[in-house]
Amino acid sequence: MTGIPRSSARCAAPRRRLRRGVLLPAALMLVTSCSTGSDSGKAGADGAGDPLFPRLGNGGYDVQHYGLTLDYEPEGNRLHATAVITARATQDLDAFNLDLKGMKVRDARVDGKPAGTARKGTELTVTPGTALDKGREFQTVVVYEGVPKEITDADGESLEGWVETDSGAAALGEPTGSMAWFPGNHHPSDKAAYDIEVTVPKGYTAVANGELKRKEVRGDRATFSWHNPEPMASYLASVVVNEFEVTTTKAGDLPVYIATHPEEPAAGPRMAKLLPRAIDWASGLFGPYPFSSAGAVVDHNEYVDYALETQTKPYFDEAPTDAIVVHEVAHQWFGNSVTPRTWRDMWLSESFAQYAEWMWEEKEGGRPVQRIFDDFYSGKDPESSGIWAFPPGDPTPETIFDPPVYGRGAMLLHELRRGVGDGVFFAIVRKWVADHRHGNGDTAEFVALCEERAGRSLKPLFDKWLWGEGRP
């Protein structure tokens, strides 16, 4: 979505609530690790070490592929599902954790053999019959069902997880919501390929990431099989169910799939024109589009007030402005292909998406980027409200979506561009995208690349714009 959520109320008076245990004391976390049933110390960790969300993700394995088979009943909002998780052990493992919030686990198997399960909060501990050796590839099958949960973000108000809508549902995963609908390693550092198959009542369309390989109607149920071959962080995985209208087109050779809610009738044709244009423009600036398909979901969702850059098909809670479309398209390079290594590196995702909006505005005959920068600096641009609240390099769980991460981050990129010149700046951007394609990148790596290409220290610039308190 664009720099600030459309409901300006959210930004004007950010509420501060308790953090729902995201910052548990280390001692408590240890208790959970010990409760995995390991007495030989070979249990995988119950977190991936994120500085903002320490319990998110898990240690001891690396997922290659998720095969998710979902059966969804909009009436009653019930999900029956099977997750097949192919992973490699990165240490000897006699037990490992998956993240899963709510849902009832019916069965778990590792390499076809029954495995033990235990649950504590959002940690699902799986104990295979036989311990796994380091380096071993193994397959975990979890059968689960229930009414998937809606999750309130650390900001105390934004909704994610499995959001039931008026005539369907939308699975939105940033930053922690994907654990509401499938068990997995829900940290952005463990990316994997996905195949998502969703069965819904006939008349509904179920949209997920990647390309539609098959649609099959049997009796009164329809099954949609989606194939997403490129690595994806789990927060970008998505399933959206509704009585959508579907428009398909091409952007160059790329298949484009657009699902629009009947209450947003103009969105289909509009997106079919805008998406190829935005993708083509962004490819010229950032390098080739990173995925094998593209598209969008334009929903009509009154419970959510943001767009999300869900991989290959960004999600829009309603018909978006061009700027928001460009923002989500830019995320396919920044955030999706090059994913922040931890949630503290969030600015590497949002500042580029916001800066893309500024460049698009200039290209379309609006304000030049320098004018937008000046309007942010002076406070004239309404989107600049709140951008000095904290340094963009140091958000908290409550503030990862706040204006400094977006607006002040984009200002940093502009200052970098002014400092090194257009040639070096765009060379840096393309190298960043190429070097970390389908992987992760962090702040230290980005700074190092900038300094290498600039041929000098850029410490004053980053100290001022990324780490400094208040308006520089």
For 90-110, the DSSP string reads SS-BSBEEEE--SSEEEEEEE
Two tokens at 361? 């505005």
- 297 to 136, 349, 457: CA distances (angstroms): 38, 20, 43
Q: Using the minimum distance from each CB to Zn ion, give the nearer residue, 103 or 323.
A: 323
Q: Using the minimum distance from each CB to ligand TRP, give the nearer residue, 207 or 307.
A: 307
CA 458 to the chain's CA centroid: 29
Select the binding partner of residue 307 from Zn ion, ligand TRP, none (C-beta < 5 to 8 A, by kind).
ligand TRP
Binds Zn ion (CB under 5 A): choice among 353, 416, 420, 450: 353
Judged by CB under 5 A, the chain residues 418 through 457 that form the site for Zn ion are none
**What's the min distance (Å) between Cβ of 101 and ligand TRP?**
17
Select the binding partner of residue 153 from ligand TRP, Zn ion, none (C-beta < 5 to 8 A, by kind).
ligand TRP
Q: How far apart are alpha carbons 409 and 244 in whole angstroms?
A: 36
Q: Using the minimum distance from each CB to Zn ion, give the nearer residue, 42 or 313.
A: 313
- Site size for ligand TRP (CB under 6 A): 13
Binds ligand TRP (CB under 6 A): choice among 174, 230, 264, 383: 174
Q: How far apart are alpha carbons 93 and 191 in whole angstroms?
A: 20
Selected range binding Zn ion among 60-68, 117-125, 143-151, 350-358, rule: CB under 5 A: 350-358
**What's the min distance (Å) between Cβ of 262 and ligand TRP?**
24
Q: Using the minimum distance from each CB to ligand TRP, give the nearer residue, 152 or 223.
A: 152
The residue type found at 380 is: K
For 159-201, the DSSP string reads EEEEEEETTEEEEE-TTTGGGGTS-B--STTS-EEEEEEEEEE
CB-CB contact of 461 with 416 (8 Å): yes
**What's the min distance (Å) between Cβ of 357 and Zn ion?**
9
Q: How far apart are alpha carbons 184 and 57 in whole angstroms?
A: 8
By beta-carbon distance, which residue lies closest to Zn ion?
353
Q: Using the minimum distance from each CB to ligand TRP, give the nearer residue, 1 or 258.
A: 1
* 158 makes contact with ligand TRP (CB under 6 A): yes
Judged by CB under 6 A, the chain residues 271 through 330 that form the site for ligand TRP are 306-309, 327-328
Q: Where are the alpha helices (DSSP H) in 53-144?
A: none
**What's the min distance (Å) between Cβ of 236 and Zn ion?**
12
Question: For residue 409, what is the enclosing H or E element?
Answer: helix 409-420
Who contacts 108 (Cβ-Cβ below 8 Å, separation ≥6)?
114, 115, 116, 117, 126, 140, 141, 142, 143
Q: Using the minimum distance from each CB to Zn ion, give the nearer residue, 115 or 405.
A: 405
Among candidate residues 40, 83, 379, the one with its CA nearest the CA of residue 234: 83
The sign one gets for the Cα dihedral 103, 104, 106, 112 is positive
Judged by CB under 6 A, the chain residues 375 through 434 that form the site for ligand TRP are 401
Select the binding partner of residue 5 from Zn ion, ligand TRP, none (C-beta < 5 to 8 A, by kind).
ligand TRP
Q: How far apart are alpha carbons 376 and 352 in whole angstroms?
A: 16
**What's the min distance (Å) between Cβ of 290 and ligand TRP?**
17
| Binding stretches for Zn ion (CB under 5 A) | 350, 353
| Binding stretches for ligand TRP (CB under 6 A) | 1, 5, 153, 158, 174, 306-309, 327-328, 350, 401
